[in-house]
Structure 1
Amino acid sequence: MGGTESPARQAISSARRVVVKIGSSALTSLAGGIDLQRLDLLADAVEARMQAGSDVVVVSSGAIGAGMAPLGLTRRPKDLATKQAAASVGQLALAHAWGTSFTRYGRTVGQVLLSADDFGRREHHRNAQRTLDRLRSLGAVAVVNENDTVATEEIRFGDNDRLAALVAHLVGADALFLLSDVDGLYDGDPRKGAATMIPEVRSSADLDGVIAGSGGALGTGGMASKLSAARLAADAGVPVLLAAASDAAAALGGGQVGTAFTARGVRLSARKFWVRHAADARGVLVLDAGAVRAVSRRRSSLLAAGITSVRGRFYGGDVVALVGPDDVVVARGVVAYDSTELANMLGSSTADLPSELQRPVVHADDLVAVEPA
């Protein structure tokens, strides 16, 4: 692109491996289910990007919306059973629609349904990674969706924006596109009056004063979830473009549309990303002020001497949250001991413990500081 293009947009336009998330409102309507014409246009944009040399993984919302019309539902269901029923119908229809659309280009589509549990468990996480990598190596287009038919309110992602950010790191993407019914990030709701688009987010300072709203009739996302997902991906080293699905061709073609989010300089390792963002915390370790400084500033291993109390039941190898005396989370890490074992070690110096208990409670290599929001 031209010389005025920012580094973030340069990275996005030249990315060789990308994840494209498409919102429910871009694919479905309350009256008619899947809008095949719009889906074809989106597939056209993805195909053009692939022809230009990029590998593309699609994260497609719309399963519940796609299942509503066939089931005679006129509004998005609120109860879990009806959501799951609509998703069971819609996932089949959505996968068929994507497959039919990409058949025009001689491409095969593979559907990958993921749940939050697949990211929270390390082995499931690796299995999903291998599946997506193999689909790509075989020349197929992977279409990912949350497995809404089995997800419960307690274990679901909440929206496919977060799912897309997790998938972007999972596949080692060079860029993430969040495409929906909004054309970028504004400092307010443009539907309610004057609002200014923010063309680029380089740091949290660019978000001062931004007010993000919730989702619409067909989706669970909204600007708040998109902003959260964009920051999650950028924090993990993946630049993000937030744009309108109607601008998909321009967005994927390197056009100056939407809002670009600059990635942090150093990409988190797969293990540290999993610890920080994907794994569920199974318990809580409460630290004294000295231990907080050690783990959050010096990135030191956590020793038993700095722990004042333990909450929850967990086992060695689980991810736990580390909180300070004010109960604010300062880090997450993989704990080396069971909760029952650790309860008898609190406040003890390493030298006073038996030799088999002298290793760190959380090793520095398995610890990730949590930056304030």
Structure 2
Amino acid sequence: MTGTRETIAAARSVVVKIGSSALTSMAEGLDVSRLDALADAIEARMRRGSDVVVVSSGAIGAGMAPLGLRRRPQDLATKQAAASVGQLALAHAWGTSFARHGRTVGQVLLTAEDIARRANHRNAQRTLDRLRSLGAVAVVNENDTVATTEIRFGDNDRLAALVAHLVGADALVLLSDVDGLYDGDPRKDPAARLIPEVDGPEDLDGVVAGSGGALGTGGMASKLSAARLAADAGVPVLLAAASDAASALAGGPTGTVFAARPTRLSARRFWVRHAADTSGGLTLDAGAVEAVVGRRRSLLSAGITSVTGTFDAGDVVSLHADDGTPVARGVVAYDSAELVGMLGKSTSDLAPDARRPVVHADDLVAV
């Protein structure tokens, strides 16, 4: 067993994401037997001493069959209608399945705003932590009945990585209808090779990532993105087939593992990079770009050439080079109206109350 696999096998806090295709079928909706098998594997892991948070896709898929829908809806209203039916069925099914083990389930519905806004972020964190401390299983899903961008965003791979950071997880397990990462599409290329471990970006050279299937909207591309995101949080990832859940959660030699980065971003810098919405933008001259990106210095007003959008002090803004290329994100210390009068001015030319950095280095991350 490799070091990364050992870390995942021994993890005390685990987030398990389950894809739509692992829980639902186009004709029948929720497959209770598959859900029971997953609950059994998760319960076994919990009985070995791990806290587990489940991120469950499948709400839209679970609502399709009861509504007589034969294919995944494309319009937003029908997606939300299917999700409203499916979320009820999904939560009930998880509750019934875990009740066989005497385990209580709590449903936690999140939107991107709950992760992006710091106050909501903390509230979600406290709820998940308390459920875990009470011995319950938190089943997290995107709140697709009211969300808009979340449904267009894709499935829950990214949400699972954000939740892993939110709860300080030691490992993230992504379970779907694929048994690992291949260097090609094994459905089309019999010579495609399974990649058992990814230690860094160089291990992904030549890998082609595809999109999702009929029931889900993710795919290998979203799983790779989620693995990279989790790596920033210092969380190792296992990608495996849902049918191999028992082995995957028991530390068996299945799927592909992604090593975490040796140094993790601080919680605040991770939030700025991955979770926060941007409220506007600042365009920087070449010297400021080099200082911010190359030397990790604070952004001063002298290096800013223009302001776009409307924002308040404390919002997250995007920083761009003069050709429009995004180079960083950061928490701005002034509102947009204040900054307009500060553009290009050196610190000595500003009023005493306007001499602090526009974006402090501790609140800034390159992209």
What are the superposed Cα offsets for residues 50-82 of structure 1, whole Å, 9 maximum, x if unpaired?
Answer: 011100000000000000011111110000000
Match of 2:263, SS state, is: coil
Note if 1:204 corresponds to 2:201.
yes
Match of 1:299, SS state, is: coil
Partner residue, 1:357: 354
Partner residue, 2:338: 341
Q: Distance in 1 between matches of 2:152 and 2:185?
A: 27
Residue of structure 2 aligned with 1:291, choices 283, 288, 292: 288
Q: Distance in 1 between matches of 2:294 and 2:15?
A: 33
Partner residue, 1:123: 119
Q: For residue 252 of structure 1, what is the amino acid of its counterpart?
A: L
| Structure 2 unaligned spans of 5+ | none
Q: Distance in 1 between matches of 2:277 and 2:320?
A: 15
Residue of structure 2 aligned with 1:282, choices 272, 279, 286: 279
How many percent identity over aligned positions? Answer: 79
Note if 1:137 corresponds to 2:147.
no
Q: Distance in 1 between matches of 2:78 and 2:152?
A: 15
Give 1:53-92 correspondences, 5 Å limit. Answer: 53-92=49-88
Q: Distance in 1 between matches of 2:235 and 2:285?
A: 34
Q: CA deviation at 1:155?
A: 7.8
Q: Which moved more, 1:244-253 or 1:327-336?
A: 327-336
Q: Distance in 1 between matches of 2:102 and 2:153?
A: 33
Q: Which moved more, 1:155-164 or 1:295-304?
A: 155-164
Equivalenced residue count is: 366
Residue of structure 1 aligned with 2:214, choices 214, 217, 220: 217
Match of 1:310, SS state, is: strand
| Structure 1 unaligned spans of 5+ | none
Taking structure 1 as the reference length, the TM-score comes to 0.96
Partner residue, 1:160: 156
Q: Distance in 1 between matches of 2:226 and 2:287?
A: 32
CA-based RMSD = 1.1
Residue of structure 1 aligned with 2:297, choices 280, 297, 300: 300
What are the superposed Cα offsets for residues 103-144 of structure 1, whole Å, 9 maximum, x if unpaired?
Answer: 011010000000011111110111100000000011100000
Partner residue, 2:170: 174
Partner residue, 2:17: 21
Q: Distance in 2 between matches of 1:233 and 1:326?
A: 30
Structure 1 residue ranges (4+ consecutive) displaced by more than 4 angstroms after TM superposition:
154-157
Q: CA deviation at 1:273?
A: 1.1
Q: Is the 8 A contact 2:117 2:276 kept in 1?
A: yes
Q: Distance in 2 between matches of 1:324 and 1:273?
A: 22
Q: For residue 241 of structure 1, what is the amino acid of its counterpart?
A: L
Q: For residue 365 of structure 2, what is the amino acid of its counterpart?
A: V
Q: Distance in 2 between matches of 1:90 and 1:221?
A: 18
Q: Distance in 2 between matches of 1:274 and 1:157?
A: 18
Q: For residue 79 of structure 1, what is the amino acid of its counterpart?
A: D
Partner residue, 1:99: 95
Give 1:175-194 correspondences, 5 Å limit. Answer: 175-193=171-189, 194=191
Q: Is the 8 A contact 1:116 1:157 kept in 2?
A: no
Q: CA deviation at 1:25?
A: 0.2
Match of 1:266, SS state, is: coil
What are the superposed Cα offsets for residues 320-352 of structure 1, whole Å, 9 maximum, x if unpaired?
Answer: 111122322221110011111111111110011
Q: Distance in 2 between matches of 1:66 and 1:16?
A: 31
